[in-house]
Structure 1
Amino acid sequence: MVIAVIGSGYVGLVSGTCFADFGHEVICVDKAKDKIEKLRNGQIPIYEPGLEELVDSNVKAGRLSFTTELTDAVRKADVIFIAVGTPSRRGDGHADLSYVYAAAEEIAASLDGFTVIVTKSTVPVGTGDEVERIIREINPNADFEVVSNPEFLREGAAISDFKRPDRIVVGVSGDRAKSVMTEVYRPLYLNQSPLVFVSRRTSELIKYAGNAFLAMKITFINELADLSEAVGADVQDVARGIGLDNRIGSKFLNAGPGYGGSCFPKDTLALVKTAQDHASPVRLIETTCSINDQRKRSMSKKVISAVGGDVRGKKIAVLGLTFKPNTDDMRDSPALSIIQALQDKGAEISAYDPEGMKAAVELVDNVTFGNSAYDVAKDAHALVIVTEWNAFRALDFSRLKEDMAVPVLVDLRNIYGKDEVAKHGFSYMCVGRPDQEA
C-alpha cells in the first residue's frame, strides 16, 4: 500500500517511518526544502530515541522517501495522512487549522482514483467535515473518504507507542475507508492491538478527551502535593496508595512543576474553546488550565525560599529545560516560566539540558548555558532540577558541594531524598514531601 504523509514534523515523521517499517511504501511530504534535504541526507530534525536508525534502515530498504512535491505523492497514494501542525491560534486559543485546510486544498487538486484522506493532526470536532467540504468544493468528481485517526504518541517513547499501542482509534463514515484502514494497520491488528472504529466526530473528541483527562490527573496530584506539604503527608505515598486502585491507575501521578509540551497545553485550551462555542463548558478542564499555568511560575517560590528568601544577585543553576526527558521539545516547558520568574526577582541563571539547549537559546534571554551539571553549578547558590533526565539521577554531591557557593538542592521532580543529599552537607527542598527544609 502506498501512503503519503503531509507534514514531516514530529507526528508525520514518526508515523511515516513506522508505517514504512510495517512494509508500506511511504512518501513524506513537506514544504520546507531545507528539512527535506536534511532528511534525505539522514539528518533528523527532532530528537526522538531510535528514530534516526529507523529512518535510515527504511530509506535504504526503499520503503521511505522524502519530497517537497505534493502532487506526485498524492496521485500515487492509496492513503494520505494529514499530519501538519495545529498550534494554538494567537489571540483566542482555538486550534489554528489553517495548515490542515491548506493541505486539504492542495490534496483536492491532485486526487486520482479512490483515496482515503486521514486527519492525523490533532483537530477539534467537526474538522473532518470541513476537510471533506473543501475537497468536494474544489474537486466535485473526486472519489475519496475522509477519516479521523488521532495519534497517541509520547515524546521520548513515540516509536514503541506507535508499534505497541493501547488502541488505534479510527473515525470513519463508510465501509471502503474502514477496509483500507484495516489494511493499513493490519501488522498491529494481527498483534491484537485494539482497532476501534467509531464515527469521525467521536474520534476527534476522543483525542482531546484523552489528553484533557491526563492533564487533569497531573494537576490533581500537584494540588495534593501542596496539601501534603501543608499537613505533613508524603504525596508520593499518596500517589502510590491511590494508584494501586485499578480504577485510578498509577500513571501520571508524579507531582512536579506542572505539565508542558506540544499537546496538553494547546489541546486542553482548544477543548475549552470548542466547548464554549457549543455552549457546553468543561469547567474541570478550564480550571486545570488555570491551575497549571499558575503552578509553573509559582515553583520559583520554592527556589527563593530555599536560598533564604531573596535571589537578587545570586546564581541559580537549572538542570533540565525540556518539558520532559528524552526530547528536545521546549514548548510550554515549566523551565521557561521558572527561569523568567527567578530573573524577575534578580537571579542570575545558568542552565544545562542534554538535548534542549539549542532550542532554549531562542526562548530565554540572559541565561548562561553550560556543558554539564557540574559546569553550571559552579558558584551557584542553588541547584534546581526541573526535568528528570537520567543524567541527573546520580549526581556527585561531594563534587557539587566543592564547586557551589551554597549547597542547596531544589528537586522539583522528587528524584532524590533528603537523607541522600544531607549526608553531603546539602539542604534539600522537594515537592509534596515532609523530608525537606526551608
Structure 2
Amino acid sequence: MSPNIDDFNADELNAPDWMNEQFFKEVLIKHIKDPNVKVVNVKTSPATAKGDHYASIMFRANVEYSTQKEKFSKSLIIKTMPDPDSDKNEVLGDSHIFPTEIAMYTEVLPKFEAILAEAGDEITFCARCIYHSLEPRQVMVFEDLVSQNYDVIRNRPANLDEIKAGLEKLAKWQAVSFKLLKEKSVLFDKLQYDVTTIPNFLEHELLTSGFPNFLDALESVSCLKQYRKYFEPMKDIIIKRWVEIIREYRDNQKDDAYYVLCHGDFHLKNMMFRGNDCMLLDFQLSYVGSMTNDVLYAMYMFLGPEERRHNYDELIYHYFACFTRTLSKIGYQGMMPSLVEYRKQLFDRRYLEIFLMSTFMATFNHMRKGQDPSEFINDADKRRQLYNDKDYQEELKYLLPRFLHLGYFDQLK
C-alpha cells in the first residue's frame, strides 16, 4: 500500500532538483574517498512524518552506487533549509542553526565520545554525519538510523525506561561539557547562538500570543480562574525572563551556577530508539547555559502526563546521579555538584518552567498527536484553540496547584 501523502509535510513530498545523482556522487566521493564512485540509481522520499519537526526539511535517499571493485546500496538522510519563499524560511533563513549543528556533529560530539571512550564508556550520541556544506546551500547528510533499526516514537508517550535512557545520554554529554567548561575549552566557541537569537523570533506571534492565550484559558475554566491573579503580573515580563535564563551564561554568569552544553530542543521527536538505546537528533539550537534548562524542557516536552505526575522527582534524581557518576568516571577534580544545590537552581529558574508550561506545552501537546505545526504557527485562531484542548487543561489542573504549593509564585520579580 502506498503511503498517504497527508502523513508527510508538504515541503518534503518532492526533493529539490539539486538533490540528484551528481550531488550524491559528490557526497560519496567525500565519504568513501574514492573518485571513481559511480551513482547508479537514487530514490528519494520524505524522511519524517508530519509534526516530527519544523526547522528544516528532510529526505531519505536510497542510493545505489558502484566502485571499481563492487556494488553497494546505502540509505541516507538529507537535511537542508526550506524553500526561500516559505513561511519556515521567513523565520529561520538568517539564523545560525546549520553552522551550529555542523559544529555539533563534526567537532563537539565526536570529542565528547572520545573522552568517554577513554574512560571506558563506549557511547554514541547521534547518527554519523558523512557530508556537510554551507555553500551553495546549507545541507547535511547522515547515515540513516532507521536502517540500523532505530525509530521515532509516535502517537504515544515514551515509557519510563525510554525516558531514563534519553536522560542518561543527556547527563553523560553534559557531564563532559561541565568539565571542559571548567577547563576553559575553546570547543564551545562556535556555539554562541540559541533559540532566542533567531532573527525576529522573539517578536513572532507564536511566542507573543502564547501567554495571553494561556490567561484566557484560565478564565474559561472555573477551577483555574483562581490562579489568574498569580500569572497576570507576569504577562509583560515572561518572555524577557525566559530570554535572560537562556542567555545567562553569555550575559550574566552566576558564580555558583552549574553550566553545561544544552541541547536546546530536548523533546521526544528529537530522539530515536532501538529498545532502550537512544540516539539524539537535531542540534540546531545547542548552546552553553544553565544545567537546569534541558531538564526543565524535558519535563514538559519529553515526559508524558503520567510520568510528569508520578515520576518527576525520580527522573530528576536519575539524571543527576548519572551526571555525577560520569564526572567521577572522566576524572573531574573540582567540587562535585550537589543535588540540593541543583534543585535550588531549578527553583530559582522557575520562570523558565512557567514559560514552558504556558507557551510551549500547548503547542507540543498538539504536535505529540501528529499534527503539523505549520497549521497553527501562522493562524491566530488555531493557536487559541490549542489552549482549549481538554488534555492541556487537565494538565493545568494538576500543575497549577503544584506550583502554588511549591512556592513558585512567592517573590517573583
Give the TM-score normalised by the residue count of structure 1: 0.24
Q: Which structure has the larger Rg?
A: 1
Give the TM-score normalised by the residue count of structure 2: 0.25
The higher relative CO (CA closer than 8 Å, separation ≥ 6) is in 2
